[in-house]
Each structure stands twice: as C-alpha cells, then as structure tokens.
C-alpha cells in the first residue's frame, strides 16, 4: 500500500509517499481501508519532533474514515464492511496517512450512511476535542454564554456549532475576512480578534461563562478579565510561547476554573464519536472542508494547516 512517512524530523519536505506492507490488525484492532484522513496541526508536531514518535520512519495522521477490511482477535463491535471513523492515531502508533491503517477498536465508531467519509474524518479529532472541552470539562449548560477564540479554526468552528446545539449563546473571535462564515456556523456575535477593545466588546456582550481558548496562555489574563463569576476556561492547543497573568487575583474573585486538556486523554473516544456522528447525521454539527488533497500533496497540506487562513479543515483522500 501507499503511505506518507517521514524518515527524519523536519519540515513538510521530509514527507514521502512510500510503498509499504499492509498492516495486520493485532488483538483489539481493526484494519480500515482509508477513504479520508484529516490534516491537523498536531500531526505536524510529530513530524517536527516536538512530540515523540516510537520509531522512524513513521506514518502520521490522527483522523481516519473508511471501511473495515479485517478485524483482529477480541473485536466484537465491528465487522468487515462496516463504515467507521476514528481519531487518536499517530500518537504512539502508526497513523492514517495511508491507504490502510490498523486502529484500536476503542478509538473508532460506526459511521451512519448519511455522513460522508471526508466529513467524518474532518470531524473526528476536532469534534472530540470540542466535546471534551464543552461537555466533559466545562459542563456547559443551556443559556450560558460561550466564548470561542479562533472561531474559524478546526476546533473552533465545530465548538461554535456544538455549543449552539447545546442551547448556549456563542461569541466567537475571527478575522474580518471570515466573519460571515463564522456567523453562519451559529455564533451570536463575531468579533475581530485584533480589535484593541476586544475585552470591552466581550464585556458589553455580557461576558463569558465558558471560554474555549485555542491559544493556551496567550489569553490567560484576557480570559480572566472577560469571564463571569464561576466561569470555566478550557485551554486547548500548543502555543505556550507568550503571555501570562498580570493580575491573578481576579481569578480568585470570580472563582474561575482553568482546565488545560488534550483530546488524547479522553476516557472513551468511541462513545464521543458515536454522539458526534449522530449530530452530524442530523446536520446539527457539520464540519467545513476547506480543501482536499491527495497523498502526494500531504506536505503542502501540512504547510497550509499551519500557515494559511481559512475556515474549517483540510482532508486527505488516498
């Protein structure tokens, strides 16, 4: 089969399309014929060496959607021919940038016929991340106000839809060029992230009960300033290069809870994916696919996911 691998750490240019043996599913694994695999920033961190991999060469890719080709011993929930999607690959195990992948059964879910493979791949990681943040950690309730930093991004554009579906009111930040698209996703107000009076604008909109922060500590003090009493701040992402608290006392006065999280720590990825698939089948959460690439263009896709400005996700189709 064809697979995209890196034989050394480095930039997108280290990615090559190689002919490799088909994987054989171990106990508890499912062999999936890959129809689509999403491209995420986290995939580039493994390629660059910021996150470790068990060996080189290595196949990256976190998300997968496709058809079951074989099942390993101990697998009862899936059968050959089932449509499935999953996430959490490429982290300590070969990923989904290939024509076939052996995936643990517990990171997969059945995919309804109503949901296309590319939509499922685009939804898997970012949807699980948004779910873990909004549902598991924040316990978001109807009528609360959710602020989503980076509403045009992969996690952000799904978090807006999920929060709105949960009955929350959503404020989102985005660049002006994407404001209309972010508004269409369900945000009540879309605010230019670069405006000088952003904190005042959020406060004028009523503040935030839940904040989804895709830039980690860049907005630590900002989040504290705009949060309502008892707010929950969910930190997602890999940007820890700047920022901090100028006045941490405000967090005590408002009883703000900070939760920094990783999708990979989810207790039951399969269960979350099952719920997301149902929402997607009912068009309550619909991932936006900005562009689709073939395996030979994976390097360009990984460059674009970090450097280009767009709404939604990038997807590979082997």
Domain boundaries of the chain, sorted by first residue: 2-111+288-316, 126-263
Q: How far apart are CA 278 and CA 30, in angstroms?
A: 22
Whether 2-111+288-316 and 126-263 share one fold: the answer is no
The whole-number average pLDDT for the span 164-193 is 97
Q: Name the pTM for this structure.
A: 0.95
- The answer to whether 269 and 87 are in contact (CB under 8 A) is yes
- The answer to whether 163 and 287 are in contact (CB under 8 A) is no
The whole-number average pLDDT for the span 62-78 is 98
Beta-carbon contacts of residue 55 (< 8 Å; ≥ 6 apart): none
Residue 243 reports pLDDT greater than 80: no
Q: What is the mean pLDDT of the chain?
A: 95
Task: Read off the pLDDT band of 218 (50, 70, 90).
Answer: confident
Q: Which CATH architecture has domain 126-263?
A: 3-Layer(aba) Sandwich (3.40)
Q: What is the pLDDT of residue 251?
A: 75
CATH topology of domain 2-111+288-316: Quinone Oxidoreductase; Chain A, domain 1 (3.90.180)
Per-residue pLDDT tens digits for 228-241: 999 999 999 765 55
Q: What is the pLDDT of residue 185?
A: 97
Taking residue 40's Cβ as centre, other Cβ atoms within 10 Å add up to: 26
């Amino acid at each position: 089969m064809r697979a995209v691998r890196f034989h050394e750490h480095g930039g997108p240019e280290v990615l090559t399309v190689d002919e490799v043996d088909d994987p054989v599913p171990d106990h508890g694994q499912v062999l999936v014929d890959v129809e689509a695999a999403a491209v995420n920033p986290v995939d580039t961190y493994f390629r660059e060496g910021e996150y470790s991999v068990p060996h080189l060469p290595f196949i990256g890719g976190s998300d997968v959607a496709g058809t079951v080709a074989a099942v390993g011993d101990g697998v009862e929930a899936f059968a050959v021919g089932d449509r499935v999607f999953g996430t959490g690959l490429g982290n300590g195990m070969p990923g989904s940038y290939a024509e076939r992948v052996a995936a643990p059964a517990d990171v997969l879910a059945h995919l309804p016929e109503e949901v296309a493979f590319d939509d499922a791949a685009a939804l898997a990681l970012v949807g699980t991340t948004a779910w873990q943040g909004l549902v598991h950690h924040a316990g978001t309730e109807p009528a609360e106000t959710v602020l989503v930093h980076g509403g045009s991004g992969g996690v952000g554009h799904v978090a807006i839809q999920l929060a709105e579906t949960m009955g929350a009111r959503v404020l989102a930040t985005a660049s002006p060029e994407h404001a209309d698209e972010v508004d269409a996703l369900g945000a009540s107000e879309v605010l230019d992230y670069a405006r000088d009076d952003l904190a005042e604008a959020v406060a004028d909109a009523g503040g935030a009960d839940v904040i989804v922060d895709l830039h980690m500590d860049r907005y630590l003090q900002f989040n504290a300033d705009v949060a309502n009493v008892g707010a929950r701040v969910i930190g997602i992402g890999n940007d820890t290069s700047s920022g901090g608290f100028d006045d941490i006392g405000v967090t005590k006065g408002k009883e703000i809870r900070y939760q920094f999280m990783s999708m990979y720590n989810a207790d039951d990825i399969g269960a979350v994916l099952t719920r997301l698939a149902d929402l997607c089948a009912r068009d309550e959460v619909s991932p936006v696919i900005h562009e689709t690439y073939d395996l030979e263009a994976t390097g360009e896709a990984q460059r674009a996911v970090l450097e280009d400005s767009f709404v939604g996700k990038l997807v590979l189709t082997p």
